[in-house]
């Protein structure tokens, strides 16, 4: 079943992004060099940027329809976004960071509880600390936990490991795999590191010069689950 369906065009200065895809459940990796437009695409999906034209549907909901003047703001999309450098709120403790999105949900919308996420990501010892007292790897795990506790319909991960060294990346990747298998939240994972994407993704799209294309390395190409872009 198609969960995310979009056709988006976005221009800023000389940069032009044009992306079309239908994405199913599971993890969709988007790979490409720096400056290709991967983060811009995630910002468009999250609602942090407005496209000049196009549409975006998720699970039957229309989130963007430029022609009809329809745009659902990020706080009403219920998507989680994990940023490259965590973006933890410096004035809040780890516990309050984790609960920031959770507190803004009605009890019926809450799929995960603090204790379960804390155990999943092994961050129980960090709850009373401030973000400035965390290492890079700890910060990213807390950022992931904060997005999970928001019980997102779709989890967007924007190069979540790029600021970490190789040792920390190897520590975090298994946590991401656990999130994938234990929560079953559909994810879009953006990275310039092909190995990370191969490790996690069920299918891979490639972004180059603002254009989204199906990757030759798409792992489930045979099943036809992912169909990326222009030309498909």
Partner 1 sequence: MTLSPQEWQALWLSAKVAACATLLCLPPGIALSWLMARREFAGKALIDTLIQLPMVLPPVVPGYLLLLLFGTQGPIGGWLQQHFGIVLAFNWKGAVLASAVVAFPLMVQPVRLAFRMIDTRLERAANTLGAGRLDTFLSITLPLALPGIVAGAVLCFSRSLGEFGATMSFVGNIPGETRTLPLAIYSFTHVPDGEAAATRLVLLSIALALGALLASHAIARRAERRLGYHDPRGDTARARSR
Residue 20 sits at the vertex; the CA angle it makes with 76 and 68, to the nearest 5 degrees, is: 50
Tokens 């804390």: give the residue: 118
d(CA 169, CA 210): 27
CB 80 within 8 A of CB 148: yes
Contact pick of 136, 173, 198, 220 for partner 1 (by CB under 8 A): 136
Contact pick of 146, 153, 169, 203 for partner 1 (by CB under 8 A): 146
Per rule CB under 8 A, is residue 127 in the interface with partner 1?
no
Question: Around 6, how many Cα atoms within 13 Å sit in the side-chain half-sphere?
Answer: 23
Least gap, CB of 132 to partner 1 (angstroms): 3
Of residues 64-83, which lie at the interface with partner 1 (CB under 8 A)? Answer: 73-75, 77-81, 83
Backbone φ and ψ for 114, nearest 5 degrees, come out as -55, -50
d(CA 102, CA 99): 5
Stretch binding partner 1 (CB under 8 A), from 26-34, 144-152, 178-186, 208-216: 144-152
Per rule CB under 8 A, is residue 90 in the interface with partner 1?
yes
146 Cα distance to chain centroid: 13
- Beta strands in the chain, from DSSP E residues, in sequence order: 2-12, 15-24, 27-31, 53-58, 61-65, 70-71, 79-82, 154-158, 187-191, 203-208, 211-214, 227-228
Closest to partner 1 by CB, 58 vs 83, is 83
Of residues 93-122, which lie at the interface with partner 1 (CB under 8 A)? Answer: 100-101, 104-105
Per rule CB under 8 A, is residue 162 in the interface with partner 1?
no
CA neighbor of 207 nearest in space, from 18, 9, 6:
18
Per rule CB under 8 A, is residue 53 in the interface with partner 1?
no
Stretch binding partner 1 (CB under 8 A), from 43-51, 64-72, 196-204, 211-219: 43-51
Least gap, CB of 13 to partner 1 (angstroms): 17
Least gap, CB of 219 to partner 1 (angstroms): 28
Per CB under 8 A, residues contacting partner 1 are: 46-48, 73-75, 77-81, 83, 87, 89-91, 100-101, 104-105, 129-138, 146-147, 150, 165, 168
């Amino acid at each position: 079943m198609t969960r995310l369906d979009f056709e988006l065009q976005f221009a800023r200065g000389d940069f032009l992004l044009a992306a079309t895809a239908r994405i199913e459940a599971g993890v969709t990796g988007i790979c490409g060099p720096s400056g290709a437009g991967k983060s811009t695409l995630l910002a468009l999906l999250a609602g942090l940027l407005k496209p000049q034209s196009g549409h975006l549907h998720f699970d039957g909901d229309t989130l963007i329809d430029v022609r009809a003047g329809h745009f659902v703001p990020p706080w009403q999309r219920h998507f989680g976004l994990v940023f490259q450098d965590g973006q933890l709120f410096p004035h809040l403790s780890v516990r309050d960071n984790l609960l920031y999105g959770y507190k803004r949900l009605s009890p019926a919308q809450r799929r995960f509880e603090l204790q379960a996420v804390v155990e999943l990501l092994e961050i129980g010892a960090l709850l009373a600390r401030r973000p400035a007292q965390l290492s890079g790897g700890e910060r990213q795990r807390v950022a992931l936990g904060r997005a999970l506790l928001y019980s997102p319909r779709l989890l967007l991960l924007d190069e979540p490991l790029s600021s970490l060294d190789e040792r920390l990346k190897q520590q975090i990747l298994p946590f991401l795999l656990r999130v994938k298998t234990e929560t079953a939240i559909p994810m879009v994972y953006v990275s310039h590191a092909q190995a990370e994407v191969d490790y996690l993704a069920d299918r891979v799209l490639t972004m180059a010069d603002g254009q989204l294309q199906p990757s030759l390395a798409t792992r489930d190409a045979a099943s036809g689950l992912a169909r990326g872009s222009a030309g498909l």
